Each structure stands twice: as C-alpha cells, then as structure tokens.
Chains A and B, each alone.
Chain A
Amino acid sequence: MSAAPGRPQASSHRSAQHEGTPVIPPVLLSARRAGKAFVHQGQPRWACRGVSFDLYPGEVLAVVGESGSGKSTLLRLLAARLACDEGSVHYDVRAESSEKSGNESTGLVDLAELSEARLRWLARTDWGFVEQHARDGLRMNVSGGANVGERLMALGARHYGHLRSEASSWMQRVELDTGRIDDLPATYSGGMQQRLQIARNLVTHPRLVFMDEPTTGLDVSVQARLLDLLRELVDELQLAAVVVTHDLAVARLLAQRMLVMKDGQVVEQGLTDRVLDDPQHPYTQLLVSSVLTP
C-alpha cells in the first residue's frame, strides 16, 4: 500500500513550520506497513498486510470493508493486542509519572519495543477499547458502578465516595439512569450495555479509543442515539478514534477520514466525504453503490 502521497514523516520531530501555516500537532498513532499473518496448514495467510496511515490527536478514522477483510485484525494490531508480523505500529506515549506535567510526550514509540507492563498500562489509561459485544468489554458479575470505577481502582483510587460520584457522573454523561448504578450489567438493555462500556473506557480520559463495530447488533433508533452520543463525546473530549465498521453511514457520521479494506489490503483511503462521494477503486464504488436507501 503506497497510495498515500504527502504522508508526514514518522519522526515526532518536525522541521520548523513556515510562518503563517497552521501548526500541525504531532502524530498520535502511526502504522507503517503493518501486517499480520495466521498460519494455516503450514502456509502463512495474511489477514492484513501493508497498512500505513497516521492518526492525529482528535481525529476519527473509520475502517470499512466487508467481513473477513481484516478490519478487526488491523484494530487488534493497532491496540497491541496482537503483535505485527511485518511492519510496525508507533504511538506517542506520554511520560509515565504524573508529576511530569501530564501531557509531556516522549515521541513516537514502536509498540513492539514496549514491555508488557507498559502496554497494559497504556491500554487502561491512555486507550479505550469498545468491543462489538458489550459483554466482552464489561465485567458482567459486578454492578455498573463497579464497571465504571474499575480503571480508576486499577490506577490506585481508594476512596469509595469519590469512586461512586465519578461513576454516577459518567453514567449521566452517557445518558444512563444513575438509579441503575448498583444493578448488574446483565439487567441492562443492549444499548445501555454499550453506553456503559463507553463510560467505563472514557473514565480515565484516554486520548485514543478503538471501537470494533460499536453500533452493530443494536436496533436503528438506539444506533442513532449511540452515534449521536459518540459524536458529542469525541468532540467534547477531543478523542482520537479508530472505528471499525461495515456500516458506511457510521463512517460518514463519525469519521473525518476512512480506510477501505479488501482481502487484507487497504484499497483506498482519504477524507470520508471524498471517498464516499467520489470513490476511485472499483471495490469502493461497489460498496458505496450497494448501500440501501429507503
């Protein structure tokens, strides 16, 4: 995949900006020809290969494609849940100690070079991961409030009252009834579970959220409300997000840019409106033309 002209350098140190031009913030997440193969009957099969892009703070990137095209594998590579077999993924890791003015970045770091402890720390502080099935992302045997508070407790919060008020304020933000704070997630509806999962991920104010088909499996009106909520939160918290979806409408609503994948390859990438209104690759054209309009 070399069809991304004018891509910025992976290095976090940019040359001085020309006067008058807006200052581009440093890249947050950068994939460089990332690929993952699964061995099948002794032969490697590339689930995705040669994926390169840069993601900037506050930007939402949609990854679309049919099922089996490697979208979810790509997402797992980006979130370091799988290791790259080829290429690399880099992330702008913040300095660990909180005494150092919070946002001090150490530049782009290859995720493969980070220790497992550091990756797990990243995954529960600076990242969020919204699973397709809320049950996979929630702890089903403890209450909604405990689900929201879990990350805070992992970071050392030891005051019950504070944890509880934080949990109820986040439940309000994702439009959950705070009266349900002590109920088990299994008693929540599908849409509520998905919103609880989002609250649970955002409680540590991550900079980057990975979402795997966040609206699939919800009925249309609930989908619309969830998308509305996601759009608001992304905007309000200046979240960067990588959203995997097969629903072009979700991509249109949420994302500024999109990648189109087919058979593990990125066949087209660009601004969402450009890709959807003027698809270049035959597969993208097919995808866009096959959307049902009532």
Chain B
Amino acid sequence: MMDTHYNFAFLDERTKKRIRRALLKAVAVPGYQVPFGSREMPFAYGWGTGGVQITASLIGLSDVLKVIDQGADDTTNAVNIRRFFARTTGVTTTEKTREATLIQTRHRIPEMPLTESQILVYQVPMPEPMSRLEPSRRETIKMHALSEYGLMHVRLYEDIAQLGAISRAYDYPVMVNERYLMSPSPIPKFDNPKMHMNPALQLFGAGREKRLYAIPPYTQVRSLDFEDHPFEVQRWDHACALCGASESYLDEMIVDDAGSRLFVCSDSDYCEERRDAGHVGTQQAVTLHDALATPPEAVTPNEQEAA
C-alpha cells in the first residue's frame, strides 16, 4: 500500500514534469546528454539516483515495476529501490521480465528480448564517454557538437598497442544513430548488441552528473572498433551450472579454496524461467587451472619425463 505521507513516487509533480520534458528532448536527439535539475534523493549518489528520478517521473498506477542490479532481483540495490517505489506509489512489482512495463536496471540488460510496451531505465555513474580522455567538460561538449570522436579511437588504439586487444569489457562506447558517442553505462559489452534496434525505449539517468539521455525504440547503436580489430562480445567455455544456458552472460563464482568456479546466469529471472521449463545444468562447479600457480607449460615436460 502506498505511504500517503509522500507525494506519488516521492518527487513533486513539477519536478517529475520537468524531468519528463528533458526526457522528451533526449528521445528527440538520440544519445545526446540533456542537462536536468537533478534532485536530492533519499539514496546516496552511486546508488542509482539518476535512474530513480527517471522511474519516478514515468511511473503510473497501472505500471508493473522490475528492478535489476547486476542481473539479479534480490541484491541490495534492487531490493531497496523496489521497496522504495512499492512504498511511495503502491504499484505492483515483479521479478519477471515479461510481466514488467517499467524496468530499472544497473549493469545489465535482461536476456529476454524486450518489447515495444516496455521501458528500460539505466542507472549511469558517468555519462560522458570521453571523461577519462578529455578532462574539460566544455571541450567534450564541443567535441559532441562537432562530432569529433577521433579521441575515443585513440583510446582503443592504445588498448590494442599495449594489450593486444581492446580490453574494455564494460561501459564500452557506442555510436547512437551514427551521430552521438554515448556511454552505455557500465553494462558488460556482452549487452551492447542488445541495444541495437531494440523495440523498447531505453532511458539513461545520471543523478550526480545531472544528465539524462535516451535511445528511442528501433535506433541504430554501433559499438566502436577498428576494421582489423572488430567488436566482439565475451564467450564462455562453460554453460550455466543451474539451467544449462550457453548463450547467456555468466557470473563466475569461486566456491572453495582450491579455486573451483561455479558458472551461473547473471540474469536471475532468465535462469529461473529456464529451470521452470525443465532445463537443467551440470549442478557443479568446474575445477580450473589456477592461472597464478605454476604455468602448465612448465609442468608438462616434467610429467612427460616421469611417464
């Protein structure tokens, strides 16, 4: 039930209206960072204040809300935000991706394809993709205005030169609608292809940085790369130990002192749904060779001698 001491969804109606106006602009110019008057929320910065403000300004009585944190519905951030909205709005909450109309997420996009009737709200810590490369905010605004994005490729070049491959595994920069360079928030690059031509509306909010931006439905989103070093997503040699999924993003958990790993789906709802449908994984951890111990090359000759 809604706590009537607060206005519906905590923020006052004018603030919500102002955020919606900024969102309209963001949708009209895909990937462009729109400044907005970010409010103090009853959360610490870094706990999704940007996403919470967007959700608060959009949520209505008929909405069904799902909150994700690192793919899971039962972690601290997700539980808190879900409870916050349940208390201040009284709307139905769910853990099922397919039932939700409004999904607020931190660090993941659900594995299940989204539909036109859904809105995905991202929590963004650092909206400016070039912030580490160009310290001046004024200069980056100019670079966005003039579409001067050579600098981002300098960063990728440097990765290949120093490490042999583009090492960035999350917050991998994308080009939206072939116009604006955008930070996809710290989602794994595994999720980048899901943003391309997605039927759902995708909204991004950065509370501390006071910026929001959007990818409208069916918009082109391209991950940056080089012709001879094309963009690739992560792949695993293992399937999910619980549901046997081999196509999903896997979390790797060390389960004992010997370094055995348990690979499970990061998207908890996806994993559960597969298990309910009768899919079963190996149900056990995998023993991996410890990379920090003696390298296998050094071991093999001795073993051959012994044999």
Contact = CB atoms under 8 A, between A and B. Distances in A.
A161 B148 contact: no
A181 B157 CA distance: 12
Interface stretch (A38-46, A146-154, A236-244): A146-154
A145 B157 CA distance: 9
Contacts of B162: 143, 182
Interface residues on A, range: 20 to 34
B303 interface: no
Contact of A182 (B148, B153, B161, B226): B161
A158 B226 contact: yes
B160 interface: yes
A117 interface: yes
A155 interface: yes
Q: Is the interface of B mostly helix, strand, loop or mixed?
A: helix
Contacts of B301: none
Given A159-B228, A160-B228, A149 B146 contact: no
B296 interface: no
Q: Is the interface of A mostly helix, strand, loop or mixed?
A: helix
A151 B26 CA distance: 31
Interface residues on B, range: 10 to 19
A150 B154 CA distance: 6
A164 B228 CA distance: 12
Interface in A114-166: 116-117, 120, 139, 142-143, 145-146, 149-151, 153-155, 158-161, 163-164
B150 A154 contact: yes
Contacts of A142: 154-155, 157-158
Nearest to B143: A120
B229 interface: yes
Contacts of A163: 157
Of A150, A160, A182, chain B has the most CB atoms within 10 Å of the CB of A160
Interface in A157-192: 158-161, 163-164, 181-182
A151 to B, nearest CB: 7
B254 interface: no
Nearest to B229: A160
A146 B161 contact: yes
B151 interface: yes
Contacts of A117: 146
Interface string B158-201: 10111000000000000000000000000000000000000000
B256 interface: no
B141 to A, nearest CB: 12
Given A161-B228, A182-B161, A155 B150 contact: yes
Nearest to B224: A158
A151 B146 CA distance: 15
A275 B228 CA distance: 54
Nearest to B161: A182
A158 B230 CA distance: 10
Given A117-B146, A153-B150, A146 B228 contact: no
Contacts of B148: 120, 154
B237 interface: no
B154 A149 contact: yes
Contacts of B160: 160
B227 interface: yes
Interface of A: 116-117, 120, 139, 142-143, 145-146, 149-151, 153-155, 158-161, 163-164, 181-182
7 nearest CB pairs, A to B: A154-B150, A153-B150, A153-B153, A160-B226, A159-B227, A142-B158, A117-B146
